[in-house]
Structure 1
Amino acid sequence: MTQAQRTRQAIYISLLMVIIASTAAVATKFASARASTEAIVTVQYAVCLLLCLRITLRPGLANLRSQRMGLHLFRGAAGVLGFYLFYAALEHIPMVDAVLLRQSAPLSVPLVVWLWNRESIAASAWLPLVIGFAGVAVILRPSPAGLSWWHAGGFISALCLAVSMVATHRLARTEPASRILFYYFLLSLLCVAPFSVADFRGLRWQEWAAMLYIGITIYLTLRLYTRAYAMAPAHAIAPVNYLAVVLAAGWGWLLWGQVPDFWSVLGSALVIAGGLLTIALARTPAPGNASPGPAASGQGSQKA
């Protein structure tokens, strides 16, 4: 298979991944009407942990040994907080706004790297950052009456995802993907499960079915994501992730009658423009700049 064929196949896989992830967001919004965010996140991580056990333990128990448990724990805490805030935002704001804010995570990666490693941000990265964050500001709608706090929670979710991206990039230098996912699911489950113990009483089978579906689809999207990015350069397929914003707008209109207003459309256009410009610039990184952008860290509406 030629590289062009591999890239085309990776794009198809990414399209499937984004479509499946959008249905997980729909299931989350449905389940959150009766189930707590803690319950949804707990079931999600429990299902993902069970599904990844076979692959993780295939080489034997020795595959669980790690010298970087502190970083695993930090990455897990950032990931679970990101999912928690994203799901809470989905419950209270239009789906397209929540998904779009989540998609702004790659814009924050250079800032996270600067804070973490004190690595300078390339001069060429400032234009897409300014464009993208202008879009975030439009969606957050700051006004004299105050900030839209649920929108702010959606953006903090993106910041947590950016931290998780950078931590994953650092872990991947020494840890296999199966071990990273195992500890992410396990530690995230331990973080949130104690807060959901009393939240499962009174749930109908519909909520249970939705939560199980969320767990299965999150795991499946992670597997598809890994496969796609192993087949082709990130800059060739990362733009597909912005289809998630269009799908979110479609689901929100079809199921909940949510029609994006002018400000949501304008903010979406700016964030997507900033993201695409970042991806384009990532094709030719500045010499000596090791900051993990989208090409190194990956992106997506439901990435861990």
Structure 2
Amino acid sequence: MPASAPQIRQAISLSLLMIIIASTAAVATKFASRQASTEAIVTVQYLVCLILCLPITLRPGLVNLRTERAGLHLFRGAVGVLGFYLFYAALDNIPMVDAMLLRQSAPLTVPLVIWLWSRERIAPSAWVPLLIGFIGVGVILRPSPEGLSWWHAGGFLSALCLAISMVATHKLASTEPASRILLYYFVLSLACVAPFSLGDFTGLDWQVWAAMLYVGIAIYYTLRLYTRAYALAPAHAIAPINYLAVVLGGFWGWLIWDQVPDTWSLLGSALVISGGLLTIFLARSQQAANSS
């Protein structure tokens, strides 16, 4: 059943709140990284998310933990934690607007991930926005005779990990409830990163601890809002809101760290956002044609 206008408005409102919270989590991450290691930040994030997720998941009883897709859960968890690790490392080393923009390029890579995973054909019309978007990513990566900016490349790899996680989540959702998917994601991600953070928590200021705890709370509610918004309305109706994250990233970077986007960042951002919006427009047109 198509989403009604009130549902779409509610989904847009939830998406806006999600983007604002996620942008403040990025600010807190960048602040915490002045003292804490990326491994410590990610460990605290997943530990807080797990604590918040447990009561909801276990409410139906231990039977809700039963799964026959442990392998896919493990794969999704490993890819997810790698994506967050690369994103946080990029945040610590490049302008915030660049890191946010590269992260938001994830939807551009989803068709390629689906093609590699399931060999599903990419529609010819989809190649134009993909090309535009990837040219924008190339501009932001700043290729030069000396080579790529590796921290920018890490930011883009975080987007690729996010795209793989999106596809894996979609496949899991065919048989698994959302609460179970999130619980296994948090448990497995925590298991992947926690061993590498041992010894990284000594001597941290209370402000850094507060920032890391906030990141965990913010990421948890970001995921909850994301799930609710996309349950209310189709992706093409609310996905354009995600690009507000790039604007907020630029705003926080300028306000707190005096980071002003250069011409390359602005040009690359314009190309990536144009490619993303064109992808959404074509998907909407295709859906309308199929339903007519």
Structure 1 length normalisation: TM-score? 0.93
Q: Secondary structure at the match of 1:109?
A: helix
Which deviates more, 218-227 or 84-93? 218-227
Partner of 2:234: 233
Q: Do structure 1's residue 28 and structure 2's residue 35 form an aligned pair?
A: no
Matches within 5 A, 1:181-196: 181-196=182-197
Q: What's the offset of the Cα at 1:230?
A: 1.3
How far apart, CA to CA, are the structure 2 residues paired with 1:7 and 1:116? Answer: 31
The whole-number CA distance in structure 2 between the counterparts of 1:232 and 1:103 is: 20
Residue 300 of structure 1 corresponds to which residue in structure 2?
A: none
Which residue of 1 is the match for residue 139 of structure 2?
138
**8 Å contact 1:122–1:286 — kept in the other structure?**
no
Q: Match for residue 90 of structure 1?
A: 91
**Structure 1 spans left out of the alignment, 5+ residues:** 290-304
Cα distance in 1 between the residues matched to 2:130 and 2:51: 38
Mapped partners of 1:204, 1:57: distance in 2: 34
Q: Deviations over 1:237-296 (max 9, x none)?
A: 111110000000000000000000001000000000111111111224489x9xxxxxxx
Task: Return the letter of the residue paired with 1:65.
Answer: R
Question: Which 10-residue stretch deviates more, 156-165 or 110-119?
Answer: 110-119
- Equivalent AA in structure 1 for residue 231 of structure 2: A
Cross-structure match for 1:13: 14
> What is the one-letter code of the residue matched to 1:216?
I
* In 2: Cα distance, 1:279 partner to 1:183 partner: 30
1:138 Cα deviation from its structure 2 partner: 0.2
Q: What CA deviation, in whole Å up to 9, does each residue of 1:195-229 have, x standing for no partner?
A: 00110011010110000000000001111111111
Paired residues for 1:256-271 under 5 Å = 256-271=257-272
Q: How far did 1:233 drift? A: 1.6
Residue number in structure 1 paired with 2:251: 250
Deviates more, 1:161-170 or 1:274-283: 274-283
Normalising by structure 2, we get a TM-score of 0.96
Q: Which amino acid aligns with 1:235?
A: H
C-alpha spacing 1:204/1:46, structure 2 compared with 1 (3 Å): same
Are 1:51 and 2:52 counterparts?
A: yes
Within 2, Cα distance between the matches of 1:32 and 1:213? 13
Q: How many residues align?
A: 287
- Residue 153 of structure 1 corresponds to 154
CA distance in 1, matches of 2:234, 2:242: 14
Alignment check: 8 A CA contact 1:128 1:278 kept: yes
Instruction: Name the structure 2 match of 1:293.
Output: none
Percent identity, aligned pairs only, is: 79
Unpaired runs of 5+ residues, structure 2, are none
Q: What does residue 213 of structure 1 align with?
A: 214
For residues 35-89 of structure 1, the C-alpha deviation after alignment (integer angstroms, 9 at most, x for no partner) is 0000000000000001000110011000000000000000000000000000000
Residue type at the aligned position of 2:274: A
Name the CA distance, whole Å, in 1 between partners of 2:210 and 2:125: 47
- Determine if the alignment matches structure 1 residue 280 to structure 2 residue 274: no
SS at match of 1:247: helix
Which position in structure 2 is the counterpart of 1:202?
203
Aligned to 1:121: 122
1:40 corresponds to: 41
Q: Distance in 2 between matches of 1:218 and 1:127?
A: 33
Equivalent-residue separation in structure 2 for 1:216 and 1:286 (angstroms) = 36
1:181 & 1:280 partners in 2: Cα distance?
A: 30
Q: Give, in whole Å, the separation in 1 of the partners of 2:20 and 2:151.
A: 25
Coordinate RMSD, CA, aligned: 1.3
